[in-house]
A = this chain, B = another copy of it.
Amino acid sequence: MKADYDKIRPRTESSYPDPHKAQVSGRKTWPITSLFRLTQFGVNRVELAPGSWSTQRHWHRRNDEAVIVIEGEVVLVTDEGEEVLGPGDCVAFKAGVENAHHFQNRSDRPAVYFDIGGRDPWDSSVFPDIGLEARTNMQIEFRPLKAPE
């Protein structure tokens, strides 16, 4: 059965330290991966408000990434320059290629895209414009035992 976006609460927070989270504050993310219990690649549906960025510009050391635009218009910014992507357009980024990218919604209406990514737990993302890198820090979390979902 297809994903019912109305039944998933989108994530809006980001992990960037200030002042780097302001530019991505208009981003909503629907985690498709966990909805379907996928483990081999990640799928997020993302809605970008006008003026918002997808992320800070980055490249992945170990994960491939692909983006497919559904609705509206985003500007892809890489070391090579800028390019406008619209509905049906697709771009992908091979792991380890040091060409930082992100998407900006410079239009006056929301843009929707899907982001697909590898799941290497040793991946890290490099953010050259802000001089940071990031990795996923997995933590064990306990909760009261309950019946399986």
Query: When chains A and B are docked, how far (Å) is the Cα of A68 from the Cα of B87?
Result: 12
- Which B residues are CB-close (under 8 A) to A112? 88
Q: Among the listed stretches A92-100, A126-134, A141-149, which one makes contact with chain B, having 4 or more residues with CB under 8 Å of it? A: A92-100
A93, B36: Cβ atoms under 8 Å? yes
Query: When chains A and B are docked, how far (Å) is the Cα of A32 from the Cα of B66?
Result: 9
Query: When chains A and B are docked, how far (Å) is the Cα of A66 from the Cα of B63?
Result: 18
Q: Among the listed stretches A12-20, A37-45, A48-56, which one makes contact with chain B, having 4 or more residues with CB under 8 Å of it? A: A37-45
A44-81 to B contact mask, C-beta < 8 Å, 1/0: 01000000000000000001101010110000100010
CB A36 to nearest CB in B, in angstroms, measures 4
Query: When chains A and B are docked, how far (Å) is the Cα of A93 from the Cα of B3?
Result: 11
B38, A41: Cβ atoms under 8 Å? no
- Which B residues are CB-close (under 8 A) to A37? 94
CB A123 to nearest CB in B, in angstroms, measures 10
A106-146 to B contact mask, C-beta < 8 Å, 1/0: 00000010101011100000000000000000000000000
> A6 near B: Cβ within 8 Å?
no
A70, B87: Cβ atoms under 8 Å? yes
